[in-house]
Amino acid sequence: MSQPGLFRLDFFKAIPMGEELNERSRRILEAIVEDYICTAEPIGSRAVSRRHQIGLSPATVRNVMADLEEMGYIVSPHTSAGRVPTDKGYRFYVDTLLQVGQLDAQQKSRIEQYYRLDGLRVEERLREAGKVLSAISSYAGVVMIPRFTSTVFRHIEFLKLSHGKILVIFVSRSGLVQNKVIETETPISQHELEQVSNYLNQTLTGLSIQEIKAKTVRDMTEEKTTYDQLLRRALELSREVLSEEIGGEVFIEGASNILEQSEFKDMDRMKRLFRAFEQKSLLVELLDKSQRAKGVQIFIGSESEYSEIEGCSLITANYSSSRGTIGTLGVIGPSRMNYSQVIPVVDYTARLVSQVLEIEFE
């Protein structure tokens, strides 16, 4: 991947040590993966010998394919004499054989023209990014909006509900809105809640949520300081509100594109995947894992513990500001996706979103 015009990507999982393949095996595995990506049909030895200039007879190719199958890189479907890649085969291809080119100016322009931003709130801009990813890749675009701890505080409001419950409404400097319901055992009136809101809005505006959490803990534990009742109540409510992470909603755009892929003619597989889309918690976990790493990440089907995405790959990249990573976006599609084309689209879209949101999160 060090060739001119190519860029190196950091992947979620490297191939295991001891799984080296010789050059002939690598070339044949590469041919099988790329042909299968294009055709969705099992690949036979004669097709590999004919379509690729590898200088080997069909019989020799067949012997190498038998070795690759024994090592778990390819498998033979019951209804065909040809072979298809396994998740292990895709992983080896992605980690060692794949060459990813930079997008050219025309491709970048196409992405940019889809990305209409004027007058949109942050959530709408991020949803638009998901639509872009889906439209360009022809798979499903996924975008996780920033956790609130990644944002800068602008406004907070408390609304009294019934039975000791309070609705808390956060607004970030960028306009990101998050709601949370908390419970309090101590009776408190709406007037007192308004006083608490006013105090917090005066003292916390402009701080990041992480800074607010640190300040709250520091103020609550500060010794030999006597707080008046309002300040004590404000600190207590702040600690309760920030005790757990909020945010992390996932937008999924173009999910119906996956139905057009031959792999999802299997009704059970399709139902599992769409159940994962509906629940979203699985995608949040995967996107959280991606957010803790650098570079483009690739999750391939059975490599994760989630059976719902068996037969799928998820390609992700983080978008960020000068404060660091604030969210994750990507594309989910069949393991037979065109990695060389999808990876630079995800990477460039993440960079574009980072540029657009840079000011928003400062």
Confirm whether 282 is domain-assigned. Answer: yes
For residue range 46-83, list pLDDT tens digits in order: 999 888 878 888 899 999 999 999 999 999 987 667 89
CB atoms within 10 A of CB 23: 8
CATH of the domain at 297: 3.30.450.40
For residue range 49-59, list pLDDT tens digits in order: 888 878 888 89
Q: Which amino acid is at 130?
A: G
Q: Do 265 and 138 share a structural domain?
A: yes
Q: Do 155 and 141 share a structural domain?
A: no
Q: What is the pLDDT of residue 205?
A: 80
Categorise residue 118: left if φ over 0, alpha if ψ from -120 to 50, beta otherwise.
beta
Q: Do 228 and 311 share a structural domain?
A: no
Confirm whether 63 is domain-assigned. Answer: yes
Which one of 241, 259, 283 terminates a domain? 241
- Distance between CA atoms of residues 50 and 271, nearest Å: 38
Which one of 192, 213, 241 terminates a domain? 241
Tokens of 167: 């609705």
- Distance between CA atoms of residues 201 and 154, nearest Å: 7
Confirm whether 6 is domain-assigned. Answer: no
Q: Do 353 and 252 share a structural domain?
A: yes
Lowest-confidence segment of 235-249, 278-292, 331-345 by average pLDDT:
235-249
* Structure confidence at residue 262 as a pLDDT band (50, 70, 90): confident
- Measured over all CA atoms, what is the biggest interatomic distance in the chain, rounded to whole angstroms? 87
CATH of the domain at 27: 1.10.10.10
Q: Domain range holding 233?
A: 150-241
Confirm whether 5 is domain-assigned. Answer: no
Most confident by average pLDDT, 226-230, 290-294, 336-340: 336-340
Which one of 225, 241, 257 terminates a domain? 241
Q: Do 121 and 258 share a structural domain?
A: yes
Q: Do 140 and 163 share a structural domain?
A: no
* Structure confidence at residue 5 as a pLDDT band (50, 70, 90): very low
* Structure confidence at residue 8 as a pLDDT band (50, 70, 90): very low
Q: What is the pLDDT of residue 93?
A: 95
Confirm whether 18 is domain-assigned. Answer: no
Q: Do 234 and 180 share a structural domain?
A: yes
Q: What is the pLDDT of residue 357?
A: 73
Q: What angle, 0 to 180 degrees and rounded to 10, lies between the N-to-C axes of helices 281-291 and 267-279?
A: 70
The pLDDT of 281-304, averaged and rounded, is 78
- Distance between CA atoms of residues 291 and 318, nearest Å: 6
Confirm whether 13 is domain-assigned. Answer: no
For the residues of 308-328, what is the DSSP string, one character each? GGTTEEEEEEEEEETTEEEEE
Q: Do 257 and 123 share a structural domain?
A: yes
Q: Do 134 and 183 share a structural domain?
A: no
**0.85 surpassed by pTM:** no
Q: Do 310 and 166 share a structural domain?
A: no
Confirm whether 74 is domain-assigned. Answer: yes
Q: Do 132 and 64 share a structural domain?
A: no
Confirm whether 8 is domain-assigned. Answer: no
- Distance between CA atoms of residues 176 and 14, nearest Å: 36
Instruction: For residue 243, give every residue at least 6 positions away whose Cβ sits within 8 Å of its Cβ, in sequence order, or none.
Output: none
- Distance between CA atoms of residues 206 and 231, nearest Å: 19
Q: Does 265 have pLDDT greater than 80?
A: no
- Burial state string for 92-114 with b = 16 or more CB within 10 A and e = fewer than 16: bbbebebebeebeeebbeebeeb
Q: What is the pLDDT of residue 27?
A: 93
Q: Which residue has the higher pLDDT, 130 or 117?
A: 130
* Number of domains into which the chain is organized: 3
- Distance between CA atoms of residues 276 and 327, nearest Å: 20
For residue range 181-236, list pLDDT tens digits in order: 888 877 888 888 888 888 888 888 877 767 777 777 677 666 444 456 667 777 77
Q: What is the pLDDT of residue 32?
A: 95
Q: Do 236 and 154 share a structural domain?
A: yes
CATH of the domain at 169: 3.30.390.60
